[in-house]
Amino acid sequence: MFDLVSLGNKLKTCRINLDCSIDQVSSSTGINSISLILYESGQKEPTGDEILILADFYKIDYKYFISNQQRSASENTESLYRKHGSEFSQSDRIAIRDFLFLCECEQALWDNLEIKYNKFHPQKIRSNNSKIQGKEIAKEFRNFLCLTDNQLIDNAFYLLRKTGVHIFRVQLENSNISGVFFNHPIAGKCILVNYLEDIYRQKFTLAHEYAHSIFDASDQFNISFFKEGEDLREIRANYFSSNFLIPSGAIKLLPDYIEITEEILLKMAKKLEINPEVLLYRLVDENRIHRNKIKELKKVKIPINEKIDPELKDLSTAGLIRKTQLLKKGLTQNYVLLCFRAFQQSLISKNRLAEVLLVDEFELSEILKLFNLKISYDI
């Protein structure tokens, strides 16, 4: 028999993390409210089926509830919401629940399929200056990825997923949140990029959160706000991101005698697929323009319709709409193909395939069709 008090505390924590009432959990699970109260208070033992139902609702491995040893991502989110709870709506909390579930599923699939990635481990950081740290490690990371000093990055999401970090783009309601890094107790390093931002900002946020996964990996989580203030860790992450996405070599391709005008700034930003403001500060950092020109050039913007999402290229209008909806939930082509590969190799069932894709079995065929996949029922 397991510890009912411990189980009750875990169930209550998971519910509070989602900002759900007892009645809401009851409505979603079919378990009556009185029983849920008794379970959370440790006064009554749920049945095995009820534990499975609650584990499915909270998207946590059922073993976490019946074991005193197993850890869960709910511990990360409990700390996150204790510190920043007012920043997250119930919808955002559900989105983060699903995001952490996808990370854990992806890690399990990597393990089952024996997929190994060459992970980045920086050399000892020599400087105590946050800006220099960001710049030096960005250069080292580019070398690790075999990128030349002037090579541009097209699909940063695809590139960085190949380093063994779980990266999902999920839409949050709070536009002030750019991204979140989690040190998941099971999946390891996990990065959430807020899909609410424009694609160039998402690209910058991805690299920014990746910096946190390097420099701040010992923390349970790190949340990055659109307006960050003067936090030295955020400054370091910004310098890493800008130097990773805009290497010195790319700037040096521009002859010294050319003056940085609005037209030149816009042309360079489009080529780099980065917002002009980010490029502007890099040009200042590389001594290509004086800081007093920032105000003059800061008004340069790239129209949103000219920013192409690398994960949504060459789609029909209908396909674009549907895949955008999936991408907002974190379902990338890489992840869907990974799940389907595991299904084809009989590592997961059809029911589990639907579960890891956040749909029911009735929706499964439709989702797979969007990725030109089809279930063969003789498998």
> How do residues 177-225 score in pLDDT, each as one tens digit?
999 999 999 999 999 999 999 999 999 999 999 999 999 999 999 999 9
DSSP, collapsed to helix, strand or coil, labels residue 347 as coil
Kindly provide the residue ranges of all beta strands, DSSP E only, lying in the chain, ordered along the sequence. 166-170, 177-184, 188-194, 221-225
Most confident range (mean pLDDT) of 214-228, 252-266, 330-344 is 330-344
Domain-located, residue 194: no
Q: CATH number of the domain that 41 lies in?
A: 1.10.260.40
Contact (CB, 8 A) for 159 and 75: no
Domain-located, residue 229: no
Residues 89 and 19: their CA atoms lie apart, in Å, by 8
- What pLDDT score was predicted for residue 171? 96
Domain-located, residue 316: no
Kindly provide the residue ranges of all beta strands, DSSP E only, lying in 233-339, ordered along the sequence. none
**Least confident segment among 133-137, 231-235, 313-317:** 313-317
- What pLDDT score was predicted for residue 1? 60
Token pair in block for residue 139? 């250069």
Q: What is the mean pLDDT of residues 301-330?
A: 90
Domain-located, residue 14: yes
Residue 351 is which amino acid? N
Domain-located, residue 175: no
Q: State what percent of residues in the chain have pLDDT above 90.
A: 79
Residues 195 and 173: their CA atoms lie apart, in Å, by 10
Residue-wise pLDDT for 91-116, tens only, equals: 999 999 999 999 999 999 999 999 99
Domain-located, residue 12: yes
Contact (CB, 8 A) for 111 and 186: no
Token pair in block for residue 55? 């584990």
**Does residue 153 have a pLDDT over 90?**
yes
Q: pLDDT band at residue 38, thresholds of 50, 70 and 90?
A: very high
- What pLDDT score was predicted for residue 68? 79
- What pLDDT score was predicted for residue 379? 43
Q: What is the mean pLDDT of residues 319-337?
A: 92
**Does residue 169 have a pLDDT over 70?**
yes
* H/E segment holding residue 122: none
Handedness of CA 227, 230, 231, 236 (dihedral sign): positive
CA distances 96 to 81, 151, 330, Å, are 11, 34, 10
Q: What is the mean pLDDT of residues 49-72?
A: 91
Contact (CB, 8 A) for 276 and 269: yes
Q: Largest Cα–Cα distance of the chain, in whole Å?
A: 78
Residue where a domain terminates, one of 44, 70, 96:
70
Residue where a domain terminates, one of 41, 70, 99:
70
Q: pLDDT band at residue 285, thresholds of 50, 70 and 90?
A: very high
Q: What is the mean pLDDT of residues 131-146?
A: 96
Distance of CA 118 to the CA centre of its chain: 19
CA distances 161 to 116, 119, 129, 158, 321, Å, are 12, 10, 28, 5, 24
Kindly report the average pLDDT of the chain as a whole number. 92
Contact (CB, 8 A) for 242 and 272: no
Domain-located, residue 215: no
Domain-located, residue 99: no
Residue 61 is which amino acid? D
Residue appearing with tokens 């584990």: 55
**Does residue 378 have a pLDDT over 60?**
no
The domain tally of the chain equals: 2
Q: How would DSSP label each residue in 270-296?
A: HHHTS-HHHHHHHHHHTTSS-GGGHHH
Structural domain boundaries, residue 8 = 4-70
Residue where a domain terminates, one of 70, 88, 115:
70
Contact (CB, 8 A) for 333 and 339: no
Strand-pair category, 166-170 with 188-194: parallel
Residues 96 and 170: their CA atoms lie apart, in Å, by 8
